[in-house]
Amino acid sequence: RALELRHVEFKQSRKLSEVQYDLRGPVLTRARQLEAEGHSILKLNIGNPAPFGFEAPDELVQDIILGLTDSNGYGDSKGLPSARRAVVQSYQTRGLTGIDIEDVYIGNGVSELIGMVLNALLDNGDEVLIPAPDYPLWTGATALAGGRPVHYLCDEQSDWAPDVADIEAKITARTKAIVVINPNNPTGAVYPHQLLADLVEVARRHQLLLLSDEIYDKILYDEAVHRPTALYAPDLLTITFNGLSKTYRAAGYRMGWMVISGPKEHAADYIQGLDILANLRLGPNVPVQHAIQAALGGFQSIDRLTEPGGRLWEQRNRTHELLNQIPGVSCSKPQGAIYAFPRLDPAVYKISDDERFVMDLLNAEKMLVMHGTAFNWPAPDHFRIVTLPRVRELEEAIAGLARFLAGYQQ
Ligand code: PLP
């Protein structure tokens, strides 16, 4: 007797109703469609160094190859002790005290660790302060964990510094943590000493967990100096994130780490929660962990790229210079990372829907940037462009953008 098939509709869970991550959304689908039609698209939308000819340092590759034969078993669920020791030593060298390898967790990218940290922390409705603009994974992961992302403004007029008064105004009894992204994606800001001290002071006054995403900590231009937030907060529970994706141009390796510092005796229960989640995912990819020691202990080849005359330095300069030459476009000079976040003057360009703007630019010029509201920026007047392509390619792209903007109205 033939089974009568009853078709059930499979729907996404309600957990996803508040989760948004536009960086890989509908505009990218359209770009793929254009590619399938034979167009070549310049992708200035994702901070992925490899497609632009950046190679991972050879010593990392060699250490993975050497470690490969010994990597087919599950490793420690928090990560290999040797890799975690390398992370501890790198932070000790930078002046962070009171940490050992039990305070370090390795993840399949910082992304995985962000999810773990928020899932272990948040009850439904708990709030997390996240910058606007942000790296939107923080917002999406907060919502997925049942939390409520609350965005604090960064001020373009002050080199995109977080507005400390806005942070204070947005703290409630439900606020659990504050996210600091320094050097910043998407603005390129690198936070000065006093600002970090002020941010930490707010966290101190309100007893917030500090979550400091420092994945661009070595991609610095000119005189910029990066200071780990944790150094300002020996008396506060702080989690610092970093990884191989950007500084070491190995985003595809999916490898990141985090270190917990500050007074852990009041956080035993939370840390136990993190351990449960670390166990639940069984552990990070083993072979790639062999690259961590070489990365942290070795010569920092990123320096050659960011110093005057270096490839990333030149590309950052040219992007900044050319964007500011377009009427109605202004852009502060990124001090770190691999992005620019220019403003489209609303008095010049009538844009009510910035995702449509990005889609129109894609269709007209076959180039892909990201709309500012994808970074939880509240107005449709910014976009993000990566500074990874070679200067000649950037020049062509920005010329295309200028051409497109000249006649653009919504
Ligand atoms: N944090 C920031 C600020 C980022 O910009 C990115 C990637 O763009 C990540 C984290 C994700 O890092 P990973 O590749 O280690 O998951």
**Ligand 1, atom 7, residue with closest C-alpha:** 47
pLDDT the model gives residue 363 = 96
pLDDT of residue 7: 81
Q: How far is the CA of 9 from the centre of ligand 1 (A)?
A: 34
pLDDT score for 1: 59
Question: Which are the contacts of 148, defined by CB distance < 8 A and separation ≥ 6?
Answer: 125, 126, 127, 128, 142, 174
Domain boundaries 14-54+305-406, CATH class:
alpha beta
Task: Indicate whether this complex's ipTM tops 0.85.
Answer: yes
Q: How far is the CA of 3 from the centre of ligand 1 (A)?
A: 48
The predicted structure's pLDDT at residue 19: 87
- Residue nearest to ligand 1 atom 12, measured at CA: 110
Give percent of the chain with pLDDT exceeding 90. Answer: 90
Residue 302 CA to ligand 1 center (angstroms) comes to 17
pLDDT in tens, 186-235: 999 999 999 999 999 999 999 999 999 999 999 999 999 999 999 999 99
Q: What's the token pair of residue 387?
A: 């500074």
Q: What pLDDT does residue 335 have? A: 98
Does 51 sit behind a cis peptide bond, omega within 30 degrees of 0 on the bond before it?
no
pLDDT digit string (tens) for 137-192? 999 999 999 999 999 999 999 999 999 999 999 999 999 999 999 999 999 999 99
Q: What is the 3-state secondary structure (H, E, C) of 351-406?
A: CCCHHHHHHHHHHHHCEECEEHHHHCCCCCCEEEEECCCCHHHHHHHHHHHHHHHH
Confidence of residue 302 (pLDDT cuts 50, 70, 90): confident
Q: Where are the beta strands (DSSP E) in 249-336?
A: 256-261, 329-330
Q: Is 227 left (phi over 0), alpha (psi -120 to 50) or beta?
A: beta
User: Which of 46, 112, 116, 185 is the best mutation target for the ligand 1 pocket, counting ligand atoms within 8 Å of the beta carbon and taking the most?
Assistant: 185
Model confidence at 2: pLDDT above 70: no
DSSP state of 108: S
Mutate to test the pocket of ligand 1, among 48, 240, 245 (most ligand atoms within 8 A of CB): 245
* pLDDT at residue 318, as a whole number: 98
> What pLDDT is recorded for position 375?
96
Q: How far is the centre of ligand 1, averaged over its atoms, from the C-alpha of 99 (Å)?
A: 23
What is the average per-residue pLDDT within 279-299? 93
Of 2-16, 92-106, 261-275, 353-367, least confident by mean pLDDT is 2-16
* Ligand 1 center–CA 244 separation, angstroms: 9
Most confident of 18-27, 46-55, 122-131: 122-131
Q: How many angstroms separate the CA atoms of 302 and 6, rounded?
A: 58
Tell me which amino acid residue 361 is. Answer: L
Which is more confident, 70 or 155?
A: 155
Could you tell me the distance, in angstroms and rounded to a whole number, from the CA of residue 189 to the centre of ligand 1? 16
How far away, in angstroms, is 65 Cα from ligand 1 center? Answer: 25
- What is the average pLDDT value for the chain, to the nearest integer? 95
Same fold, 14-54+305-406 and 58-297: no
Out of 154, 217, 246, 388, mutate this one to test ligand 1's pocket (max ligand atoms within 8 Å of CB): namely: 246
Whether 23 shows a pLDDT value over 70: the answer reads no
pLDDT in tens, 309-324: 999 999 999 999 999 9
Ligand 1 centroid distance, CA of 114 (Å): 9
Minimum mean pLDDT range among 2-16, 42-56, 165-179? 2-16
For the CA of 245, the nearest atom of ligand 1: 14
HEC per residue, 185-235: CCCCCCCCHHHHHHHHHHHHHCCCEEEEECCCCCCECCCCCCCCHHHHCCC
| Ligand 1 neighbours by CB, cut-off 6 Å | 47, 109-111, 135, 181, 185, 213, 215, 243, 245, 251, 256
Q: What number does the ligand 1 atom closest to the CA of 181 have?
A: 3
H or E stretch at 127: strand 127-132
Q: Closest by alpha carbon to 77, among 99, 98, 102?
A: 102
* CATH code for the domain defined by 58-297: 3.40.640.10
Pocket test of ligand 1: the residue of 110, 253, 254 to mutate, having most ligand atoms within 8 Å of its CB, is 110
Give residue limits of the domains in the chain. 14-54+305-406, 58-297
